[in-house]
Amino acid sequence: MEHQLLIYNTLNRRKERFEPLHAPHVGMYVCGPTVYGDPHLGHARPAITFDLVFRYLQHLGYKVRYVRNITDVGHLEHDADEGEDKIAKKARLEQLEPMEVAQYYTNRYHTAMEALNVLPPSIEPHASGHIIEQEQLVQEILNNGYAYVSEGSVYFDVAKYNQDHHYGKLSGRNLEDVLNTTRELDGQEEKRNPADFALWKKAQPEHIMRWPSPWSDGFPGWHCECTAMGRKYLGSHFDIHGGGMDLVFPHHECEIAQSVASQGDDMVRYWMHNNMITINGQKMGKSLGNFITLNQFFEGSHEKLTQAYSPMTIRFFILQAHYRSTVDFSNEALQAAEKGLTRLMDAIKGLEKIAPAAASSVDVKNLRTKCYEAMNDDLNTPIVIAHLFDGAKMINNILAGNDTISATDLEELKETFKLFCFDILGLKKGENGSNAEREAAFGKVVDMLLEERAKAKANKDWATSDKIRNELAALGFEVKDGKEGSSWKLNK
């Protein structure tokens, strides 16, 4: 695990050498979807960003336990207020059991993530499945004096906490800023301070999702789940906590406060945040008519889209920007990404046609080194992709006879593309990547068998060579014997 991986730590506002607490193990927690609607671009970006981290750390040799939660309860509509559980609300509107809604959208999310070639996390815990752990967290914070019970709900005492610690250290705010930007909302009278946030909410009579607790029948505050589940599955100190930049405040700030108030220190060593997505320069929102779901992208079934964009185009487009830069989606930009991806994939196909020469006029090692350098520089995928395009040019120049490559270098070039394009960036060839790979492997086995048949023929072992030929024919293989060996086709 010799590497120089730097990652940007939001907490310290600088790139830092990545050094896990318990190498070779790495613990990573990423905020997952709230499952009350179809997955959209805002879900795709963090999923792809941390999929990249997951893949790269594993490539470096770490054993990564990657936890990404499903928020199926407790996400308040307005953070700093008397919220209503978003999911329960949707369920009431639809006259459905909230868990049925949550299950439906969880399944839709999984399907979309699979299409984007996002690997499943090691553990995908549900907030509703960890009520006990969240209640334990709330009790610890109460015991330590950083929370108070009010009308059956429990609130985090931000002012008290801020006397002993700095509330706002992740987002770079101070309590005064927070107070000035907190909206006055209904039910604030339960709180000592408008900045206080709910750790446990007493359920109103109409509230469907509720559990018993020492304080009331109710549900946990949104911020509790990540602290409780992160600790349960990764331990009280772990390496990486990720999410979208919009979660820095208040969500992750509150997580740090909960962690410090319960166990005395923060659980997280590196806080990582991906930047936001805009569509034609605008924030995505249902009221703006530019709220496009991933399925609508894949099908081209939204009026703002001039065509369908494959999941790999979306993935490639997102990776063409550094994760800490904003990304603006437009038809033009996506079409450019689609073309670029095709160019890259065509070059990779070309790799198979290259005949090695005695010596190389190209520098493959340098290409590989540069790709690593870019990845190690806070996962700079746009630079990696730029280098891969240089590699594509290299391939095309060799094919055009303008450059030469040795057999060893050709192997390394193939490996470099496989590693960075497929294993690390997570791109897939064709629609059915895995199928194609299987077919390729099986095809080689047919070649091997035909080789055995050629050997049998050379040894005048006609029994064997006929048997192989007849059995292949019975299976639907059409074998053609030519001067330079046999070729075949499977008619199925």
Q: Which residues bind its own copies (CB under 8 A)?
A: 65, 97, 99-100, 103-104, 107, 110, 120-126, 128-132, 136, 211-212, 233, 434-435, 437-439, 441-446, 448-449, 452, 455, 464, 468, 471-472, 475-477, 490, 492
Backbone dihedral region for residue 264 (phi beyond 0: left; psi -120 to 50: alpha; all else: beta): left
- Strand, coil or helix: what is 179? helix
Which is closer to its own copies, CB of 132 or CB of 288?
132
Main-chain phi, psi angles of 244, to 5 degrees: -75, 155
Per the structure block, which two tokens stand in for 377? Answer: 């520089």
Nearer to its own copies, 342 or 369 (CB): 342
Q: Closest distance between its own copies and the C-beta of residue 245, in Å?
A: 27
Tokens of 408: 């060893």
Contact partners, residue 84, CB within 8 Å, separation at least 6: 76, 77, 204, 207
Residue 452: CA atoms inside 13 Å, Cβ hemisphere, count? 11
Minimum Å gap between C-beta 118 and its own copies is 13
User: Which CB sits closer to its own copies, 363 or 471?
Assistant: 471
Residue with tokens 């820095």: 248
As measured in angstroms, the least distance from the Cβ of 219 to its own copies is 12
The least distance separating its own copies from the CB of residue 135, rounded to whole angstroms, comes to 9
Amino acid at 269: R
Rounded CA separation 227/124 (Å): 14
Q: How far is the CB of 356 from its own copies (least distance, A)?
A: 18
Minimum CB distance to its own copies, residue 276 (Å): 29
When the beta carbons of 285 and 485 are compared against its own copies, the nearer one is: 485
Q: Please say which residue, 14 or 492, places its beta carbon nearer to its own copies.
A: 492
Closest CB to its own copies among 181 and 487? 487
Rounded least distance, CB 89 to its own copies, Å: 18
Least Å distance between CB 220 and its own copies? 12
Nearer to its own copies, 104 or 389 (CB): 104
* Nearest CB to its own copies, comparing residues 434 and 487: 434
Q: At CA 354, angle to CA 383 and CA 310, rounded to 5?
A: 50
CB 15 within 8 A of CB 5: no
Q: Is 309 helix (H, G, I), strand (E, B) or coil?
A: coil
The residue (of 353 and 492) whose beta carbon lies closer to its own copies is 492
Q: What is the arrangement of strands in the sheet containing 327-329, beginning at the earlier edge strand?
A: 282-283, 277-279, 327-329
The sheet with strand 197-202 has its strands ordered as 147-150, 153-156, 197-202, 218-220
Q: Which is nearer to its own copies, 288 or 308 (CB)?
A: 308
CB of 107 to its own copies, least distance (A): 5
Yes or no: say if 216 and 153 are a contact pair by the CB < 8 Å rule: yes
Q: Write the single-letter amino acid at 208.
A: I
Is residue 46 within 8 Å of residue 31, measured between CB atoms? Answer: yes
Exposure on the CB side of residue 333, measured as CA atoms within 13 A: 16
Residue 340 three-state SS: helix
Rounded least distance, CB 455 to its own copies, Å:
8
> How many angstroms from the chain centroid is the CA of residue 479?
44
What token pair was written down for 454?
A: 């050629």
Contact 301, 310 (CB under 8 A): no
DSSP string computed for 65-121: EEEE-BB-S--BSSTTSS--BHHHHHHHHHTS-HHHHHHHHHHHHHHHHHHTTPPPP
Please report how close the Cβ of residue 99 comes to its own copies at its closest, in angstroms: 5
Q: Which one, 365 or 418, has the nearer CB to its own copies?
A: 418
Pick between residue 452 and residue 481 the one whose CB is nearest to its own copies: 452
Minimum CB–partner distance for residue 222 and its own copies (Å) = 18
Which amino acid is present at 154? V
C-alpha to C-alpha distance for 190 and 62, rounded to whole angstroms: 47
